[in-house]
Structure 1
Amino acid sequence: MSNPQSHKPHDRLAAVLSTDMKAVNTMIRERMASKHAPRIPEVTAHLVGAGGKRLRPMLTLAAATLCGYTGPFHIHLAATVEFIHTATLLHDDVVDESKQRRGRPTANLLWDNQSSVLVGDYLFARSFQLMTEPGSMRVMQILSNAAATIAEGEVLQLTAAQNLSTDENTYLQVVRGKTAALFSAATEVGGVIADADEAIVKALYDYGDALGIAFQIVDDLLDYQGDTGTTGKNIGDDFRERKLTLPVIKAVALADETEHAFWKRTIEKGKQEDGDLEHALELLHKHGTLVSTQADAKAWAGRAKTALAPLPAHDIKDMLIDLADYVVSRLS
């Protein structure tokens, strides 16, 4: 019987890039080892072993392969991208006081906040060591800029997430920081390491940027209409954590006085009562903001696909186009 999973574009990408992905996983295991602090491999092995699609490092390998790269350093860059991602996850779970990630207990729950923060710091440091090895100043600029942008996006979210005056532009800035920055860096460095033409490098950057934005909008939507079994998150976690995401930002913009008071009490003041989540969902449906947010996600996926136009015909290009469609198909 054929595996239904194999029709998913990221599984097809993983199959095509399997030799390189094995090399990336080996490098991740080697570089997260620590002679002096056994807690480091314990914590990272828990997170890295939780599965996950390894989408970001795969994007680096895909971009490099698509551009005809034959050297060894795309492996280093893919591992760098995964280390930056894993470091941000460790820190995020502490900031959000999360108990679950990918359906498993978070590191901060199994160990403690100190371990999660410090091991996250270690992985960031490791990522900087790794990114120097290809010897490309431009690659280091792209990845170190991405690391700074991610941190900036997370800090911006702290102030924007519970402030009802946060608009769609600020939301986009947060998303570009905390999510899209690493997607676009992952695809861009694949082109740079392959010494691709500037128009191709720009196309890869634009693809990663738009894909990352679509990915995060979908994630925020699934929080209000997803299936817990599939997403590993409970419906309404963002509401309970008072995170102002796009469906709510749109609903606040359309709210009458009573509705505005409801959002102020639940999101800004954090005074939530039984039945509030249900009422929030009623308001999102009343104003059609789940539907309009879904349209935004599809528009960004469309931009991602359009961005790839300058790239040569290639099986991997087709898979990247399919991947943009798949990201938004999680909503159906």
Structure 2
Amino acid sequence: MNADLAGMVVRECGRRWPRGATLPPGRMLRPMLVLESAMAVGGDPVRILPAAVGFECAHVGGLVHEEIIDRDAGAANAIVAGNALLFEWFRALSECVDRGVPPERVTEAMRIQASTGIDSCRGTELELTSTLHSGLDGYLRMARLKTAAPLSAACRVGAVLSGATPAQTNALAEFGDGFGLACQIREDLRTYERNAEAVERGNRADVRVRRLSLPVLLAYDGAGARDRARIERLLTTRSGSDRLLELVEIVRRTDACGTALRMAEQHAAHARTVLTALPPSGHRVRLAGMTSRLGATADYRVHVGEAGQPRSGYAGTTVSR
């Protein structure tokens, strides 16, 4: 990761939210996609920085609301904080005009952000209502709306604000889509790749069992009648770590994880391929590198020291959240 760019985002987040709503920052995937996409087509990161920070604000705001869905804890304050961060997404974008970005580009970027926000909500709704009978097509539609659309939008906004050609913008959008699908699949795999002790310690075992994920869907498709019935029971009954362990056992035995991992690698490889439409640069290399690190579930967090200065580095957690 470009530590200088990451440091710019950290400082801008701190300036906007002195109470630390976004500090230390999240994994910074979305703002880095905006900036690297912009610079890959010759854009000025200083002009586009507000748009990048806005994506991080929107992402954190969405995570705040997701906590309410998952835990229903501190609902009132969480809703207010989440809403404020989501509105900041658009206010930050408007500041790009003050930094010299032509207004028509900002207008187009705002259209992208608004459509993406709606798509993301639809994806979350699909995630909450999906069943084993939704099938692979239903899962991919959910993943594309919930996870891939925001990453694709981050790349498109960076391109549009920088005056990229339509071909370059489309390539970056397709890159973000493939990268996002790979991220969602890797996120789904986390529960089933951990050892038994880690699964038992998970404080969201009940949620993870009842929400449909790709490994479970693949296991169900490849299982016999008895295991299918067990999977159906586990997904429809209030459950805990013991039943999560049972589901993990079925998923592993059917090699659903291996199939899902291959799917993630295919989407990541496609994302890297479409980047060849961009001119060669270190930024293009870094975008491609984001997909290659998925296998290690690395993230792009910037660690903040005691003096508030960013220290770049990777944390051993998932990239997609």
Q: 1:194 to 1:247 in 2, by over 3 A?
A: same
Q: Deviations over 1:140-181 (max 9, x none)?
A: 111111111111111111111xx2212111111111122111
List runs of 5+ in structure 1 lacking aligned partners.
1-12, 34-40, 99-107
What is the percentage of aligned positions where both structures have the same residue? Answer: 26
In 2, Cα distance between the equivalents of 1:56 and 1:190?
10
Q: 1:305 to 1:227 in 2, by over 3 A?
A: farther
SS at 1:133's partner residue?
A: helix
Say which of 264, 267, 271 aligns to 2:232: 264
The residue that corresponds to 1:5 in the other structure is: none
Match for 1:219: what amino acid?
E
User: Is the contact made by 1:131 and 1:143 (CA closer than 8 Å) also made in structure 2?
Assistant: no
Q: Deviations over 1:196-230 (max 9, x none)?
A: 11111111111111111101101110111137999
Match for 1:322: what amino acid?
G
Give the CA deviation at 1:14: 2.7
The residue that corresponds to 1:150 in the other structure is: 120
The residue that corresponds to 2:174 in the other structure is: 206
Q: Deviations over 1:78-114 (max 9, x none)?
A: 011111101110001110118xxxxxxxxx4xxx111
In 1, Cα distance between the equivalents of 2:240 and 2:75?
29
In 2, Cα distance between the equivalents of 1:265 and 1:71?
51
Are 1:127 and 2:112 matched, yes or no? Answer: no
Question: Looking at both structures, which has the greater relative contact order when contacts are Cα pairs under 8 Å and sequence separation is at least 6?
Answer: 2
Say which of 309, 314, 321 aligns to 2:288: 321
User: Is the contact made by 1:247 and 1:290 (CA closer than 8 Å) also made in structure 2?
Assistant: yes
Aligned residues: 290
Say which of 92, 108, 120 aligns to 1:138: 108
Match for 1:123: what amino acid?
L
Say which of 3, 7, 27 aligns to 1:53: 27
List runs of 5+ in structure 2 lacking aligned partners.
97-102, 299-321
Q: 1:252 to 1:238 in 2, by over 3 A?
A: farther
In 1, Cα distance between the equivalents of 2:143 and 2:108?
24
In 1, Cα distance between the equivalents of 2:263 and 2:7?
35
The residue that corresponds to 1:28 in the other structure is: 13
Q: Deviations over 1:6-51 (max 9, x none)?
A: xxxxxxx232xx1x43333333233335xxxxxxx3xxx25x2244
TM-score where L is the length of structure 1: 0.80
The residue that corresponds to 2:310 in the other structure is: none
Are 1:75 and 2:75 matched, yes or no? Answer: no
